[in-house]
Structures are given as structure tokens and as C-alpha cells.
């Protein structure tokens, strides 16, 4: 409780989020904090299996099934030079730019703007043959990580997306199967030594460490082989495309901490 209060004060004093509360405030606080701790825990515990590697990017999975459906948790780490944690997370959060990097989308509607850093979104994803088309309804939240939780980083930011319900958009209404998801992107900025000499940091002095965690429940039947093939193809594609997109978008702009 004390921690949550500290977190709230920290966010508000730094002007990242409005102070007002809304119907999802406490759920968002709780799940975002859980996801922050989950993202910060390592992958060297013997339960994660490396399944994709490309440059600095490493993707790990755990094969898990619920009622015969593959829901394999995914954890990925990546390092990108020249961008900050805030730039990375803002682009992941901002629904206005989602179609610029998200390749699985057919349609997206922002159902509610809860605050300047929290919203509820309905997404219809592209159909994967032979499975029924999926949709996803979730809240999304962007926040700065409190300084004492940044460890050795200059700063850290997190976006957490988590399934929710909306009375006007019930699930499994005939056309789509609704997936369940808990996803977070946690980014940490590191400055190289030149910054410590007193000169203002440029993009050449920045490194962004990225951790992406996802658990997606397909919500209804789909062949396990198809599900695992989609995971294996789409997650690496997403992380490479998204990070490259943010790098390109920011490279000629002033650094934003």
C-alpha cells in the first residue's frame, strides 16, 4: 500500500499521469506492479527455453497448456542504441501510431481514454487460416518506473496491457473469438560514460534495454501446431519491426527522457 502511494506520488509529481482516479485505477496499479517485477526477474532459472535469436534480441518461451490450448508465456530481451526508454514505451502505448508498426491488426478502436496514460482498446486481428478470427479488448497503461526500482539504469518506463471487459462489446459474439492477454514492455535507459563528463547526452550516448513479456490465451480452439507456428513467427517479427520503427522515428528528433 505504502509502495503504491509512493508510486502514485512519483508519477504525479513528474507530470506523467493525471492525478484523477477512475474505475480501473487499483487493478491497473496492481497488475502493472506485478508485471514490473516479472519483467525484472531473469530468464536464467532453467524454466525458459531460447527459441529465437537475432543480433541483440533473445526470445524465450515456456510451453504451457490450459484445457489443451497452448498459452506459452514469452519473455524477450533486446538492446537498441540511440533511443530512450520513454521514447520506446510512448510509441508502444500510443494508439495513434499503432498501425505504423503493428502488423497483426485489422481494426483498432479506442473505447475509453481513462487518463492521459491509460486507455481501453478493442482490436480485431488478422485472420489466421484455418482458425477463427480473434479480437482483443484490453486496458493499456504507460508509466515511469520509480527511481528506486530502476536498479543501475538512468531511468525506466513500462507499458502494461491487460484484458478487460466492456458491457457494449461482449466477447465471443459470433464473429470473433476473444483472446486473453497480459503483456508488458519494460525499457531501461543507460548512458555511456561521456554523459558523466558533464556534456549533455546525445543519441550516440544512449542504450535502451528492452524486456517484453507476453501471455496470450487464444480464448478458444485452434490447432496447437498453428498456435505455436504463429507465436514463433509473429513475436520476433513484432519486436524487430517495432524497435526499428522507434529508432527511425526518433533518430532526427531531440532526445526525450
Binding region for ligand 16C (CB under 6 A): 98, 102, 104, 123, 125-126, 128, 131, 134, 136, 161, 179, 181, 183, 216, 218, 222, 226-227, 230-231, 234-235, 238
Using CA atoms, how far apart are residues 117 and 201, in angstroms rounded to an integer?
26
Quote the least distance from Cβ 240 to ligand 16C, whole Å. 11
Quote the least distance from Cβ 216 to ligand 16C, whole Å. 4
110 φ/ψ angles, rounded to the nearest 5 degrees: -85, 110
**Burial degree of 80 (CB within 10 A; 0-12, 13-18, 19+):** buried
Judged by beta carbon, residue 3 or residue 221, the one nearer ligand 16C is 221
Question: Which residue in this structure is represented by grid cell 485489422?
Answer: 106
Other beta carbons within 10 angstroms of residue 2's beta carbon come to 6
Quote the least distance from Cβ 48 to ligand 16C, whole Å. 17
Using CA atoms, how far apart are residues 53 and 126, in angstroms rounded to an integer?
25
Judged by beta carbon, residue 132 or residue 257, the one nearer ligand 16C is 132
Judged by beta carbon, residue 35 or residue 188, the one nearer ligand 16C is 35
Judged by beta carbon, residue 38 or residue 238, the one nearer ligand 16C is 238
- Per DSSP, the three-state class of 105 is strand
Peptide bond into 130 cis (omega under 30): yes
Quote the least distance from Cβ 155 to ligand 16C, whole Å. 22
Judged by beta carbon, residue 10 or residue 125, the one nearer ligand 16C is 125
Contacts of 57 (CB under 8 A, 6+ apart): 76, 77, 78, 236, 239, 240
Quote the least distance from Cβ 158 to ligand 16C, whole Å. 13
Q: DSSP class of residue 126?
A: P
Amino acid at each position: 500500500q505504502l509502495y503504491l502511494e509512493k508510486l502514485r506520488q512519483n508519477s504525479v509529481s513528474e507530470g506523467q499521469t493525471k492525478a484523477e482516479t477512475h474505475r480501473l485505477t487499483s487493478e491497473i496499479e496492481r497488475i502493472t506492479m506485478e508485471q514490473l517485477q516479472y519483467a525484472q526477474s531473469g530468464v536464467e532459472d532453467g524454466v525458459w527455453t531460447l527459441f529465437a535469436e537475432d543480433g541483440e534480441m533473445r526470445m524465450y518461451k515456456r510451453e504451457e497448456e490450459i484445457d489443451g490450448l497452448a498459452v506459452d508465456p514469452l519473455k524477450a530481451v533486446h538492446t537498441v542504441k540511440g533511443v530512450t526508454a520513454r521514447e520506446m514505451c510512448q510509441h508502444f502505448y500510443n494508439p495513434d501510431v499503432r498501425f505504423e508498426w503493428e502488423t497483426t491488426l485489422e481494426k483498432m478502436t479506442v473505447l475509453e481514454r481513462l487518463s492521459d496514460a491509460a486507455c481501453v482498446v478493442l482490436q480485431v486481428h488478422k485472420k489466421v487460416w484455418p482458425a477463427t478470427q480473434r479480437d482483443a479488448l484490453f486496458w493499456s497503461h504507460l508509466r515511469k518506473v520509480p527511481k528506486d526500482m530502476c536498479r543501475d539504469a538512468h531511468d525506466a518506463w513500462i507499458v502494461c496491457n491487460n484484458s478487460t471487459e466492456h458491457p457494449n462489446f461482449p466477447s465471443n459474439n459470433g464473429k470473433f473469438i476473444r483472446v486473453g492477454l497480459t503483456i508488458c514492455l519494460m525499457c531501461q535507459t543507460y548512458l555511456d560514460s561521456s554523459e558523466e563528463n558533464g556534456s549533455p547526452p546525445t543519441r550516440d550516448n544512449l542504450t535502451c534495454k528492452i524486456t517484453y513479456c507476453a501471455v496470450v490465451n487464444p480464448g478458444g480452439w485452434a490447432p496447437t501446431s498453428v498456435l505455436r507456428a504463429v507465436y514463433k513467427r509473429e513475436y520476433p517479427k513484432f519486436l524487430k519491426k517495432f524497435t526499428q520503427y522507434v529508432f527511425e522515428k526518433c533518430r532526427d528528433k531531440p532526445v526525450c527522457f
